Structure 1
Amino acid sequence: MKIDADVLEAIRSARCEGAALYLTGQLEDRLYRRVNLALSAVGGRWDRRKRGHIFPANAADDIAGLLAEREVTTDSERGYFPTPPALVDEILDLADLQAGQEVLEPSAGTGAMAERIADRGGVVDCVELDPGRAEIIRSQGYARQVAVADFLTLPVSARYDRVVMNPPFAKQLDIRHVQRALRCVRPNGLLVAVMFAGLAFRTNALAADFRSQVREARGTITPLPDHWFKGIRTVLTVIPVRPQLSQLAGRRTAEVPVSEQRASQEGLF
Structure 2
Amino acid sequence: MKIDADVLDVIRSARCAGPALYLGGQLEDSLYRRVNLTLAAVGGKWNRWKSGHFFPVEAADAVAGLLAEGEVTTDAERGYFPTPPALVDEILDLADIQAGQEVLEPSAGTGAMAQRIADRGGVVDCVELDPGRAEAIRSRSFAREVIVADFLALPVSARYDRVVMNPPFAKQVDILHVRRALRWVRPEGLLVAIMFAGLTFRTNALAADFRSQVREARGTIHPLPDHWFGPVRTVVTVIPVRPPLPAPTGRRSGEVARAEQNPSQEGLF
Cα distance, 1:74 vs. partner? Answer: 0.9
Q: Which amino acid aligns with 2:16?
A: C
Q: Contact 2:103 / 2:162 at 8 angstroms: preserved in 1?
A: yes
**Per the alignment, in what secondary structure is the counterpart of residue 104 of structure 1?**
strand
What are structure 1's unaligned runs of at least 5 residues? Answer: 248-269
Cα distance, 1:170 vs. partner? Answer: 2.5
Q: Contact 2:193 / 2:237 at 8 angstroms: preserved in 1?
A: yes
* In 2: Cα distance, 1:129 partner to 1:216 partner: 31
Mapped pair 1:99 → 2:99 = yes
Mapped pair 1:79 → 2:65 = no
Give deviations 1:96-123, integer Å, cap 9, x for gaps.
Answer: 1122211101111222211221222211
Q: Which amino acid aligns with 1:145?
A: E
What are structure 2's unaligned runs of at least 5 residues? Answer: 248-269
Query: Which stretch of the first structure deviates more once superposed, 62-71 or 98-107?
Result: 62-71
Q: Please, what TM-score do these two structures have when normalized by structure 2?
A: 0.84
2:16 matched residue in structure 1: 16
Cα distance, 1:70 vs. partner? Answer: 2.4
Q: Contact 2:218 / 2:239 at 8 angstroms: preserved in 1?
A: yes
Cα distance, 1:154 vs. partner? Answer: 1.2
Cα distance, 1:48 vs. partner? Answer: 4.4
1:88-127 → structure 2 map (5 Å cutoff): 88-127=88-127
Mapped pair 1:204 → 2:204 = yes
**Per the alignment, in what secondary structure is the counterpart of residue 37 of structure 1?**
helix
**Per the alignment, in what secondary structure is the counterpart of residue 206 of structure 1?**
helix
* In 2: Cα distance, 1:4 partner to 1:171 partner: 25
Give deviations 1:71-96, integer Å, cap 9, x for gaps.
Answer: 21111112211111112222111111
Give deviations 1:165-189, integer Å, cap 9, x for gaps.
Answer: 1112223221121111111112221
**Per the alignment, in what secondary structure is the counterpart of residue 221 of structure 1?**
strand
Q: Which amino acid aligns with 1:113?
A: M
Give deviations 1:210-254, integer Å, cap 9, x for gaps.
Answer: 212212222110111223223111110011122128x9xxxxxxx
1:232 matched residue in structure 2: 232
Cα distance, 1:14 vs. partner? Answer: 2.6
2:42 matched residue in structure 1: 42
Give deviations 1:187-214, integer Å, cap 9, x for gaps.
Answer: 2211110111111122223222221221
- Percent identical pairs in the alignment equals 83
Q: Pairwise CA RMSD of aligned residues?
A: 2.0
**Per the alignment, in what secondary structure is the counterpart of residue 143 of structure 1?**
coil
Q: Which amino acid aligns with 2:161?
A: D
Cα distance, 1:50 vs. partner? Answer: 3.9
2:64 matched residue in structure 1: 64
TM superposition outliers: structure 1 runs of 4+ over 6 Å: none
Mapped pair 1:213 → 2:213 = yes
Query: Which stretch of the first structure deviates more once superposed, 55-64 or 224-233?
Result: 224-233
Cα distance, 1:131 vs. partner? Answer: 2.2
The 1:125/1:4 distance shift into structure 2, 3 A limit, reads same
Mapped pair 1:156 → 2:188 = no
Give deviations 1:117-167, integer Å, cap 9, x for gaps.
Answer: 122221111111222222222222221111121111111122111101111
Query: Which stretch of the first structure deviates more once superposed, 96-105 or 43-52?
Result: 43-52
Cα distance, 1:49 vs. partner? Answer: 4.8
2:175 matched residue in structure 1: 175
**Per the alignment, in what secondary structure is the counterpart of residue 108 of structure 1?**
coil
Query: How many residues end up aligned between the 2 structures?
Result: 246
Q: Which amino acid aligns with 2:203?
A: T
Give deviations 1:24-62, integer Å, cap 9, x for gaps.
Answer: 334333322211110011121223454422212110121
Q: Which amino acid aligns with 2:219?
A: G
Say which one has the larger Rg. Answer: 2
**Per the alignment, in what secondary structure is the counterpart of residue 144 of structure 2?**
strand
2:29 matched residue in structure 1: 29
1:129 matched residue in structure 2: 129
2:262 matched residue in structure 1: none
* In 2: Cα distance, 1:221 partner to 1:135 partner: 32
1:262 matched residue in structure 2: none
